[in-house]
Copies of this chain bind each other. A is one copy, B any other.
């Protein structure tokens, strides 16, 4: 697989982006990683990089504050636009960016293009609980129609088979305020009906916030507004609780001593819920895998994101488009 990496996007670009890409390249010698960025800056850092790392020049970067579509038109030579353009031109199969999420989504839609049968893209992110679960949409489409949630379920199922190695049909749940089918707002009620009626989705019903972390589904679908708030709330609460536990442990000499025995295991818990352990979110619904890194990602996050891409990305767009077509045929068939 050949991946274009936007090495100018993100709080820690280009240093951490380059370091993570080099680490991934060493672990995946059969894949190729093309760093998109300023040749004058990147070149000297790559003197002992492995042979499967290459360079593509781009001089500009889209700022976090800019309106994405406007910025892309104004800066055709920006790193995210060049990386997306490589996918469009067939020079790369996938691209990665830790820059502005809006700009990455806009570049993917404008340059890589949508899958047939998919009106709106969705960001899929892993929630790293004891039993990992994939959340779609984590923020690409803040206003959704019911059909968009059905599409997220179909795309998320294809992705779960690859990324989580789920065998058979991944279980899909709908985030809602109660278990019964009639619960929720108009969107949730109508999405429930579509999901229950689809042969393409193994729908397990509504899932309440409290059950999200309990392994009741492999894929959870919701609109991008709710999904983004859920994801960030989960991250914030995890950080807060671990902070409280740390505070409880450093309160006196006896607890500090006890804490030193437990530290390695607690570090393992912290690492487990650390977004850097998986490192990136996939944009589903576009014609080539696109991976969105956390803005503050470091080398480990970039490496893990690129390894996840290498593991799950090959042929993802084609498999997704087939699944959407099969689902559409069922609807058409039912109507006849």
Would you call A265 and B255 a contact (CB within 8 A)? yes
Instruction: Point out the residue from B184, B229, B230 that lies within 8 Å of A142, measured CB to CB.
Output: B184
Would you call A244 and B269 a contact (CB within 8 A)? yes
- Residues facing B in A239-283 (CB within 8 A) are 239-245, 248-249, 251, 254-255, 257-259, 261-262, 265-266, 268-269, 272-273
CA distance A281 to B78 in the complex (A): 50
CA distance A272 to B245 in the complex (A): 11
Would you call B228 and A186 a contact (CB within 8 A)? no
Chain B neighbourhood of A240, CB < 8 A:
129-130, 213-214
Q: Encode A293-334 as 1/0 by CB contact (under 8 A) with B.
A: 000000000000000000000000000000000000000000
Chain B neighbourhood of A237, CB < 8 A:
212-213, 233-234, 237-238, 241
Interface residue SS majority, chain A: helix
Q: A211 on the interface (CB 8 Å rule)?
A: yes
Q: How many residues of A contact B (CB 8 A)?
A: 60
- Minimum Cβ distance to chain B for residue A138 (Å): 10
Chain B neighbourhood of A129, CB < 8 A:
240
- Minimum Cβ distance to chain B for residue A237 (Å): 4
Residue in chain B with minimal CB distance to A230: B233
Would you call B226 and A211 a contact (CB within 8 A)? no
Q: Encode A136-156 as 1/0 by CB contact (under 8 A) with B.
A: 000100110000000000000
Identical chains in the assembly? 2
Chain B neighbourhood of A214, CB < 8 A:
236, 240
Would you call A248 and B236 a contact (CB within 8 A)? no
Would you call B255 and A225 a contact (CB within 8 A)? no
Residue in chain B with minimal CB distance to A235: B210
A262 with B241: in contact, given A177-B228, A209-B229, A209-B232 (CB under 8 Å)? no
Q: A224 on the interface (CB 8 Å rule)?
A: yes
Please name 24 pairs of A and B residues whose Cβ atoms are closer than 8 Å in the assembled complex, sorted by A.
A130-B240, A139-B177, A175-B229, A185-B223, A188-B225, A208-B232, A209-B234, A209-B235, A211-B236, A214-B236, A225-B226, A226-B229, A229-B229, A233-B233, A233-B234, A237-B238, A241-B241, A241-B273, A248-B268, A249-B262, A251-B265, A255-B262, A258-B261, A259-B262
